[in-house]
Amino acid sequence: MTPYLAFDRVWKQFRRGQAHDSLRDLLPAMARRLVGRAPAEHKGPSKTFWALRDLSFEVKAGEVLGIIGHNGAGKSTALKLLNRIMDPTAGAVTAHGRIGALIEVSAGFHQDLTGRQNVFLQGAIMGMRKAEVARKFDEIVDFSGIEDFLDTPVKRYSSGMNARLGFSIAAHLEPDILIIDEVLAVGDAAFQQKAFGRIKQMATGGAPVVLVSHQLDRIAELCTKAILLDHGAVRAEGAPMECINKYLHGVAGTAAGVSSGGQICFDKVMAPNGQAVASGQDITIVVTGTANFASAPPPEGWTPAIRVRDAATAAQVHSVTGLQRGIPLPVSGEFEYHVTFQMNVQPGRYSVEPLIWDAITNQTEIVGPALPIEVLERLPFYCEVQMNSRWLAPKLAALPKNFGATSERQSA
């Protein structure tokens, strides 16, 4: 049977607050109900809420579904239902094949056991047979890079080592269906890179994959389709970039479907010299679109603008308007403008989006499509921003150039 994963009209209800969780509370409550004197608390507002409302999708072999949304939108609930940790209140979750989850990869670790013992324990919890763990043991340890601490109790591990070992075990599952939560943020930058490479390898291996992440760039890169959840309901589904754009616009507080603003419309956003740039280098963004203000003049404060977001957090890191740079609002026909940024930011993934800004009301009026860009590491970048310092040294006594060589010869 080919692996397959589907949600069919899934609903999930949760209760707010605590139910009776001791017999001491439950028995008197039941007695009161029997006598017909239900306590007043039941007459208050509904104590339940729907965490998921009517969610349907299917993921076939070779498809990668991304689920995005704000905190509390229902992403984690969807994952827990997928992973059979919870049952839906209504609807059906169907999974054909062994599910492997890259979620909470070190949840089963026991602090008093050694790394070696925990590999077998966690492997078994994730559904691997003992022989399978034994066969892959060297690979797992090799990937984690903690060979020297294998016989040390896990309680002496740093949190990074813990996560690295956990991820390495999960990364050696060979599931039919793969579920990935935001486990990417483990370990140092080098390990994150390695982990993401592994995830990419697993996700593109042909199994049905569901990926939940706040790292929108990962969604854009890996997914073949996406769902945007909002308060438990589907707000958008389809192409990943479409959902990501809707999500980002939602973050800005503007209505959905804004890129066609009636009288001005963004068409395309491109980076003709590539979407990847080394940190500190320039990147040029070309924005095209059409404007039509023949019948009515544009509002007075409108100006073209562009903003840059950190794709991992959706936080705005930079914005600039045409008003500040002496570029007027296009009023008729096709327009095109080029914006060059010097990317003095940390290496990482960013998204650039054009918009129309009302400088009088300070509101975003129209938002164009977002373009993901990647800032690569050029030099080790330790701090928050680069300041392009220029150095002069009018007064400085330095060692002569051959100083080291001379002293070495003398000592020899």
Partner 1 sequence: MPPPSVVSVRRRASIATIIAELWDSRDLVVQFMIRDITIRYAQAIMGFAWALVMPILIVCAGLVFRVVLATLSNSAIGGASVAGLAAKAVPWAFFSGALTQATQSLLSQANLIGKVYFARESIPIASVFAQMPDLVVSLVVVLIVLPLVGLSLHVASLWAIVVLLLLVLFTTGWALILSCANLFFRDVKYILQVSLNFGVFATPVFFEPQMLGRKGSQILLALPLSPFIQAMDVAVVRGRSLLEPLALSSAGKAPVTVWAPWMLGYAATLAVALAGIGLIVFRRASGKFAEMA
Strands 90-96 and 4-15: antiparallel
Contacts (CB under 8 A) with partner 1, residues 16-35: 20-24, 26
SS3 195: helix
- Residue closer to partner 1 by CB (options 8, 182) is 8
CA–CA separation, 159 and 154 (whole Å): 10
The closest of 374, 406, 65 to 208, measured between CA atoms, is: 65
Contacts (CB under 8 A) with partner 1, residues 66-105: 80, 83-93, 99, 101, 103-104
Contacts (CB under 8 A) with partner 1, residues 324-363: none
Phi, psi of 251 (to 5 degrees): -60, -40
Closest approach, Cβ 87 to partner 1, in A, equals 4
- Position among 124, 252, 271, 331 found at the interface with partner 1 (CB under 8 A): 124
- In the chain, what is the greatest distance between 2 CA atoms, to the nearest angstrom? 103
The closest of 292, 273, 294 to 284, measured between CA atoms, is: 273
Closest approach, Cβ 132 to partner 1, in A, equals 9
Closest approach, Cβ 90 to partner 1, in A, equals 3
Q: Is 130 in the site for partner 1 (CB under 8 A)?
A: yes
Q: Is 112 in the site for partner 1 (CB under 8 A)?
A: yes
- Residue closer to partner 1 by CB (options 170, 375) is 170
- Position among 4, 6, 14, 275 found at the interface with partner 1 (CB under 8 A): 14
Query: For 217-229, b where at least 16 C-beta lie within 10 A, e where not — what string?
Result: bbbbbbbbbbbbb
Q: Quick check: 358 and 365 in contact, CB under 8 A?
A: yes
**Angle of helix 130-144 versus helix 159-170 axis, rounded to 10:** 130
Q: Is 108 in the site for partner 1 (CB under 8 A)?
A: yes
Letters for 198-227 (x = contact with partner 1 by CB under 8 A, - = none) are ------------------------------
- Residue closer to partner 1 by CB (options 60, 155) is 155
Closest approach, Cβ 112 to partner 1, in A, equals 6
- Residue closer to partner 1 by CB (options 76, 386) is 76
CA–CA separation, 253 and 50 (whole Å): 23
* Among the residue ranges 50-58, 61-69, 156-164, 261-269, the one whose residues contact partner 1 (CB under 8 A): 50-58
Strands 225-230 and 64-69: parallel
- Residue closer to partner 1 by CB (options 83, 303) is 83
Closest approach, Cβ 56 to partner 1, in A, equals 10
Query: For 268-305, b where at least 16 C-beta lie within 10 A, e where not — what string?
Result: ebebeeebebebbeebebbbebebebeeeebeebbbbb
- Residue closer to partner 1 by CB (options 86, 331) is 86
The closest of 194, 251, 189, 184 to 218, measured between CA atoms, is: 184
Q: Quick check: 349 and 184 in contact, CB under 8 A?
A: no
Closest approach, Cβ 223 to partner 1, in A, equals 23
Contacts to partner 1 by CB under 8 A = 8-9, 11, 14-15, 20-24, 26, 50, 53-54, 80, 83-93, 99, 101, 103-104, 107-108, 110, 112-113, 117, 120-121, 124-130
